[in-house]
Structure 1
Amino acid sequence: MKQRILKMLKNSEDFISGEEISKEFHMTRAAIWKYINSLREDGYNIESVPSKGYKITSLPDILTLGEVEPYLSTNFIGRNIQYFDTIDSTNKRAKEIAFDENEGTVIISEEQTDGKGRLGRHWISPKGKGIWMSMILKPKVDPMKVSKITLLGAAAVYKALEDMNIKSQIKWPNDILIDGKKICGILTEMNCELNMINYVIMGIGINVNFDEEDIPMDLKDKATSIKVSQNKEINRKELLGNILNQFENLYIDFRDEKSISKTIEICRENSALIGKEVRIIKREETRVGKALDINEEGELVVEFEDGVIENVYSGEISVRGLNGYV
């Protein structure tokens, strides 16, 4: 009901009387007042004038469905958003509820206290300055194909930034870079039985409006934020909506087991690795080679120092530049 009242207020440029709201939703003035106060607690500035009613004067920078919906053109991705002010991990929460929720459900929080990246690395997630979200997916495909979803996510973030005239690159398989520094990481986790997928959780963390001082000293050489790179505040709601729109477009082909050549093309043409010397790190083993391509299976094609050309599967590996992060 709160969201319905909010939508009514947002659709009006003038005051809406309590009587009008009461008739529309068949509720008492006291109930209306309770919802208005709840919206104020969420950060909405709502002016209240006797004999005139209520009017929204400013909107909060929060990532609720009510705030993101104007930017959405999806059919199912992001149409159910579970929003938190703070949470330990959106991926953890998504896994707890995945069996009971519809595909496309998004868990998003203004802050994570225990966010994780690939290979168990800690992910810094300060309040109100990023996009920290996890998406519940239930594709009926071979579990061996699930790693491709990470590339779908990377391509979607790239295209969403492009929609906002922000140039980035994709560091295969799961990072987005601006000016050679990381601004986004993607973590995909799966629950399956034999050849049947129960669910896939794709977590995306984006450093959107970090200030320079928000970036730890030991990460300044390899991490940045969109705000720092563009020297301006970024509309998080617009960016989130763009990502969900772009992802659904790419995901439908994957889910329907059609070619994902569009995704591969985006990742290939905007790769931060192709043509460069790279280190492929797996557990204690490090191999050096040159990244040649991303094949149609989404694997990184590498020519190693011994001349052997291999297709590298993302799995439990890390890719680094020969002399640094890229």
Structure 2
Amino acid sequence: MRGKLLQLLMKTSNTFISGQEISENLGISRTAVWKHIEELRKNGYQLEAVPRKGYRLLHTPNHASADEIEALLTTNKIGKNIIFKNEVTTTQELAHELARNDASEGTIIVADQQLQGKGRLGREWHSPPGTGLWFSLILRPDVPPQKAPQLTLLTAVAVTEGIYEAAGIEAEIKWPNDILIDGRKTAGILTEMQSEPDRVQAVIIGIGLNINQQPEHFPDELLSKATSLSIAKGNKIFQRANVIAAILGRFESWYYQYLNHGFDQVRKRWEALAVTIGKEITATTVTKTVKGTAEGITDDGVLLLRKMNGEIEHIYSADIE
């Protein structure tokens, strides 16, 4: 309910809205309105109250809280159940637990800080408080387990488009799961699955996105490799809830396109946004290093690499340079 109240206050922030009007819009009592207003104030929202005029929102803190995200969401299903935590070990860990306990599709788990954030291959993901977005999304698609990797590629498209919608920044995708701005990493995607041999029970997609970090927020070894939306826009500070709302909106659009019409359009859009395609690259797998030209991806998300001798190598998992 506070999310709907906040949405109403955001829409009328250039004027006052009366307690009676809020009461009628939300279907709650004037006393309940006052209690929700006080809760918003306790959470850092600055509200002006004037007798016979009503309430006006003056300032929104950059919390990316459940209320703030709910107020900005335009989706029908994705993100309609929001669980926000100030601090977690990882959002993926909590999402797995919730998925095993029948959490609904579209549930998102958002944290202000992860203590043990992780990326692909168990690598550490640096996730300090108050700076970025660290969240996991629970899906229950009716697809065979071997198709689940397609959702990583779909998510990369949604994150890239969401960044452009919210920040006006043209990011690029590096296969398989990195989002780059000016050649430096700003987001990573981790897809994990709960399944039976022939059926997906849940797909949990974790997204880590650097938004308002400044150079001092990064460890020295990451300064030349990582960036944020803020750095890319000359230290502009972004409302994190705006960014996640844009990403979830783009995700929902692509997700239902995928479920209803298959992977083809997702694949084409991914290839259009990918920095990898058409480039000479070096792919390092657990067993070998292969050099060649990245020609595209298969419907299963496998990278097609044309080697110097003309042969096509299928790359399932690798580090790309």
Residues 69-105 of structure 1 deviation map (CA, whole Å, 9 limit, x = unaligned) = 4543321111221112222211111111114221111
- Equivalent position to 1:118, from 110, 117, 120: 120
Q: Distance in 2 between matches of 1:101 and 1:180?
A: 37
Q: CA deviation at 1:41?
A: 2.6
In structure 1, the partner of 2:314 is 311
- Equivalent position to 1:233, from 232, 237, 249: 237
Given the superposition, is the C-alpha separation of residues 184 and 191 from structure 1 closer, same or farther in structure 2, using an over 3 Å criterion?
A: same
Residue 185, structure 1, aligned to residue 165, structure 2: no
Residues 289-300 of structure 1 correspond to what in structure 2 (within 5 A)?
A: 289-300=292-303
Q: CA deviation at 1:290?
A: 2.4
Give aligned-pair identity as a percent: 38
In structure 2, the partner of 1:62 is 63
The size of the alignment, in residue pairs, is 315
Residues 262-287 of structure 1 deviation map (CA, whole Å, 9 limit, x = unaligned) = 22122212221123232322225333
Unaligned runs of 5+ in 1: 322-326
Q: Distance in 2 between matches of 1:242 and 1:54?
A: 27
Q: CA deviation at 1:39?
A: 1.9
Given the superposition, is the C-alpha separation of residues 183 and 4 from structure 1 closer, same or farther in structure 2, using an over 3 Å criterion?
A: closer
Q: CA deviation at 1:24?
A: 5.5
In structure 1, the partner of 2:247 is 243
Report which stretch shifted further, 241-250 or 61-70.
61-70
In structure 2, the partner of 1:41 is 42
In structure 2, the partner of 1:100 is 102
Q: Distance in 2 between matches of 1:71 and 1:58?
A: 15
CA contact (8 A) 1:9 1:16 kept: no
- Letter aligned with residue 75 of structure 1: N
Output the TM-score relative to the length of structure 1: 0.86
- Equivalent position to 1:271, from 245, 262, 274: 274
Residue 137, structure 1, aligned to residue 136, structure 2: no
Given the superposition, is the C-alpha separation of residues 7 and 239 from structure 1 closer, same or farther in structure 2, using an over 3 Å criterion?
A: closer
In structure 2, the partner of 1:85 is 86
- Letter aligned with residue 108 of structure 1: V
Given the superposition, is the C-alpha separation of residues 19 and 222 from structure 1 closer, same or farther in structure 2, using an over 3 Å criterion?
A: closer
CA contact (8 A) 1:65 1:79 kept: no
Residues 91-138 of structure 1 deviation map (CA, whole Å, 9 limit, x = unaligned) = 111111114221111111121111110000111111121111110000
Find the residue that maps to 1:110 and give its secondary structure.
strand
Q: Distance in 2 between matches of 1:4 and 1:62?
A: 16
Q: Distance in 1 between matches of 2:55 and 2:272?
A: 51
Q: CA deviation at 1:193?
A: 0.9
- Equivalent position to 1:170, from 153, 173, 178: 173
- Letter aligned with residue 113 of structure 1: L
In structure 2, the partner of 1:72 is 73
Q: Distance in 2 between matches of 1:241 and 1:100?
A: 24
In structure 2, the partner of 1:156 is 158
Q: Distance in 2 between matches of 1:159 and 1:253?
A: 15
Q: CA deviation at 1:255?
A: 2.5
Residues 130-158 of structure 1 deviation map (CA, whole Å, 9 limit, x = unaligned) = 11111000001110000000000000111
CA contact (8 A) 1:210 1:227 kept: yes
Given the superposition, is the C-alpha separation of residues 296 and 19 from structure 1 closer, same or farther in structure 2, using an over 3 Å criterion?
A: closer
Q: Distance in 1 between matches of 2:85 and 2:189?
A: 20
CA contact (8 A) 1:250 1:260 kept: no
* Structure 1 vs Structure 2 CA RMSD: 2.6
Unaligned runs of 5+ in 2: none
Q: CA deviation at 1:10?
A: 4.7
Given the superposition, is the C-alpha separation of residues 24 and 295 from structure 1 closer, same or farther in structure 2, using an over 3 Å criterion?
A: closer
Q: Distance in 1 between matches of 2:27 and 2:246?
A: 32
Residues 218-250 of structure 1 deviation map (CA, whole Å, 9 limit, x = unaligned) = 012211111111212233222211111111111
Q: CA deviation at 1:7?
A: 4.9
Residues 48-88 of structure 1 deviation map (CA, whole Å, 9 limit, x = unaligned) = 56787654321121223432345433211112211122222
In structure 2, the partner of 1:324 is none
Given the superposition, is the C-alpha separation of residues 36 and 294 from structure 1 closer, same or farther in structure 2, using an over 3 Å criterion?
A: same
Report which stretch shifted further, 10-19 or 168-177.
10-19
Given the superposition, is the C-alpha separation of residues 200 and 24 from structure 1 closer, same or farther in structure 2, using an over 3 Å criterion?
A: closer
